[in-house]
Structure 1
Amino acid sequence: MSDARHDEMMSFLNANIAKGFTVESLAGDASFRRYHRIHLPVEAETGKEHMTYLLMDAPPEVESVDQFLHVCDILSEAVNVPDIIARDIERGFLLLQDFGTVEFAHLIADDTANKDAYYTKALQTLVQLQSIDPHADLPIYSAEKLAQEMDLFSEWFLPFIKVKMSPNAQKMWQTFKDKIIADIQSQPQVIVHRDYHSRNLMADKGSDALGVIDFQDAVIGAYTYDLVSLVRDAYIDYDENWVEKRIHEFYKLINAPVDLGSFIAETNIMGIQRHLKVLGIFIRLSERDGKHRYLENIPKVMRDLCAELSWLQSNHISGVYAEFLAWLEKDVLASYQEKFKKYL
């Protein structure tokens, strides 16, 4: 943080918090935002709880807080999102309610006996999120956006492992993307968080409800997107039987308008789109932004992608998916395994 930005931050905090607070800077995520935990002085504490706030620092030249505030307002009617304590939109500072330090990832790691119960709670929270009117003023997850995200796979991941598509493969890739998009857009449309996983759900220290964070990229899109994000989390590995049980559980919670087999197919198709995107994003984070830690998560994402394609092939869901899987196995996986052998 530059000296000028630090001075702006302290000016904002001094204008909104009693003197004597301390600032604890937190590790960065995949965005340009920074977060700081603000510890209030003893005289500003209420009761016996140590009071803290979370400061979002979003430099206006690279990020805007407008969309965060807009989505926060929409989601607050149904799910537990942070209260806004103070704001300076022009300078890009938000002082937020602090849910605490316990992520959903910690809950399931520290209390494995109750892991499935925590996931039930996360799925129920997702049902609440999807109960919000999908006509809310949010962007549509357009065909163009879905395609651009999948192209991160061809633009970043394939060059990283030194694989180049042949002309025939390029035609197949376009047909495959068109099919994915058509299938996704035929699904019921709901509010989609777009990053609903173990690091963006919190154990709220002041409530029994899970806290939901990092929602500023919400859109209107397919009802399986956030489910995939949760049960095929890039950072947590469960077997296919467990994944299918959670998909079945969500299917019953929402009373889906299709049979179970069709819903699993819809979920796997949505997952393919997401995992192609994530493979590209993780490489971009490493190559462009120097965030190399995401490389170790690539094998989990690739396993998920292959599992989804294999399920669709085994259940005879369109030959397009089988054709893409065959190309992946023939032209991609050997190069991928060689490049990522230290992570496998």
Structure 2
Amino acid sequence: MTETRALSPTREDQRTAFLAGAGFAGAQLVALPVDASTRRYFRLSGVGLLLMDSPPDSEPIGPFVQIARHLYGLGLSAPAVVQVDEGAGLALIEDFGQDTYTRLLAAGHPESLLYHLAVDALVALHRAPPLAEMAPYDSRQLSEECALLIDWYIPLLIGKDAALDLRDSFLTLFAEACGDVALRREALVLRDFHVDNLMLLDGRKGVAACGLLDFQDALTGSAAYDLMSLLEDARRDVPEALRMALLTYYLTQRPELNAPRFLKDYRRLAAQRHAKVLGIFVRLAGRDGKHGYLAHLPRTLGLFVRALDAEAYAPLRDWFNRHVPGWREDLPPATLAMLCETPYRLVQGSSHGHV
């Protein structure tokens, strides 16, 4: 007798069953544009909810639920979680609409008002104790992210073999520069705090008017990180006068901080983040076929070059000058074309990245 085996349900089957169990059988789903992660979102037409599909093997949904509830408890606006199946990696969450900061800024909304609101939200977050059970943004995590630069971006300049030979010395110098900031446990660091992940919510007052998205990878670390992420955006030019005004605005609201130490942390983390993002953008283009991110490389490189002017990075700056000719210059058109046409393989294993 022939043995028959039931086929495993497809991801679409799992979404359908979850929606039926939540009382939304037959709901019309509209897929939202994908980003740099494996998560997907679907809008339930006319219901005010999103279906969040976060594959449990790659991006477990539990951290999102935990942090969303924490933020809500602080009076901040994270999407309310209506129903969740952590095992399946599915959740129904509040739909904040379409007024992202990115769209509003493109439409001419006053940028100073939006940015000041975002900084107010950060101040409220940073005045609260971080979640005790959150993993730390420690030296291991910072190093894994820095490795994205030597694994993906630098090989474009000097070749994969040369980059691999220099990998250890590069990471050692980065670790030395970030040694102090890797010890900070000051605040919950959302890690992707920028205009694509912020929304303006009608009908809400104060910091609750700032909708927060994409925070499931949060860690406990330096309060400087998210402010730097907002003000040194890989996707958007922030006027220098506004950047300095917002830095001053943040520090004025937090007089208890050691301001000189905060600014040193800011500069060190800026170089670390821009190194990571350069690597991620190349990986997204060359490995994943998401070529749109290449348009942001010149801006990100400029931010990285500026960040490496910090005193703490003098040894690493010298390392670049010795080993990576032309590191301050934009990638040539032929290299960009290669990334769009030829699969670009990883030099050495790197962690999952996000931007």
| TM band (smaller chain) | 0.7 to 0.9
SS at match of 2:237: coil
Structure 2 CA distance for partners of 1:77 and 1:327, relative to 1, 3 Å: farther
Q: Structure 2: 5+ residue runs without aligned partners?
A: 1-7, 338-355
Report the equivalent of 2:3: none
Report the equivalent of 1:200: 197
Equivalent of 1:185 in 182, 191, 198:
182
8 Å CA contact 1:154–1:280 kept in 2: the answer is yes
Matched, 1:31 2:37: yes
Report the equivalent of 1:125: 121
Report the equivalent of 1:45: none
Report the equivalent of 1:234: 234
Report the equivalent of 2:17: 11
Matched, 1:56 2:52: yes
8 Å CA contact 2:298–2:330 kept in 1: the answer is no
Structure 2 CA distance for partners of 1:52 and 1:170, relative to 1, 3 Å: closer
Task: Provide the C-alpha distance between the structure 2 equivalents of 1:266 and 1:205, rounded to a whole number of angstroms.
Answer: 34
Report the equivalent of 1:266: 265
Give the C-alpha shift of residue 139 in structure 1: 0.5
Equivalent of 2:88 in 65, 79, 91:
91
Report the equivalent of 2:103: 106
* Counterparts of residues 1-344 of structure 1 (less than 5 Å): 4-18=10-24, 21-40=27-46, 51-78=47-74, 79-112=76-109, 114-163=110-159, 165=162, 173-185=170-182, 187=184, 189-208=186-205, 209-255=209-255, 257-259=257-259, 262-310=261-309, 312=310, 316=311, 319-320=314-315, 322-324=317-319, 326-327=321-322, 330-334=325-329, 336-337=331-332
Amino acid at match of 1:264: L
Task: Provide the C-alpha distance between the structure 2 equivalents of 1:335 and 1:318, rounded to a whole number of angstroms.
Answer: 21
8 Å CA contact 1:162–1:335 kept in 2: the answer is no
Amino acid at match of 2:140: E
8 Å CA contact 2:177–2:313 kept in 1: the answer is no
Report the equivalent of 2:348: none
SS at match of 2:154: helix
**Please, what TM-score do these two structures have when normalized by structure 2?**
0.82
Structure 2 CA distance for partners of 1:99 and 1:334, relative to 1, 3 Å: closer
Q: Structure 1: 5+ residue runs without aligned partners?
A: 41-50
Give the C-alpha shift of residue 246 in structure 1: 2.0
Give the C-alpha shift of residue 121 in structure 1: 0.3
CA RMSD of aligned residues (A): 2.8
* Number of corresponding residues: 326
Give the C-alpha shift of residue 116 in structure 1: 0.6
Shifted more, 251-260 versus 196-205: the winner is: 251-260
SS at match of 1:75: helix
Amino acid at match of 1:290: G
SS at match of 1:24: strand
SS at match of 2:99: coil
Give the C-alpha shift of residue 63 in structure 1: 2.6
SS at match of 2:84: strand
SS at match of 1:290: coil
Structure 2 CA distance for partners of 1:54 and 1:244, relative to 1, 3 Å: same
SS at match of 2:179: helix
SS at match of 1:336: coil
Give the C-alpha shift of residue 195 in structure 1: 0.4
Task: Provide the C-alpha distance between the structure 1 equivalents of 2:215 and 2:128, rounded to a whole number of angstroms.
Answer: 14
Amino acid at match of 1:136: A
8 Å CA contact 1:59–1:92 kept in 2: the answer is yes
Task: Provide the C-alpha distance between the structure 1 equivalents of 2:151 and 2:133, rounded to a whole number of angstroms.
Answer: 31
Task: Provide the C-alpha distance between the structure 1 equivalents of 2:322 and 2:251, rounded to a whole number of angstroms.
Answer: 32
Structure 2 CA distance for partners of 1:194 and 1:259, relative to 1, 3 Å: closer
**Please, what TM-score do these two structures have when normalized by structure 1?**
0.85
8 Å CA contact 2:121–2:210 kept in 1: the answer is yes
Amino acid at match of 2:88: R
8 Å CA contact 1:180–1:273 kept in 2: the answer is no
Structure 2 CA distance for partners of 1:275 and 1:284, relative to 1, 3 Å: same
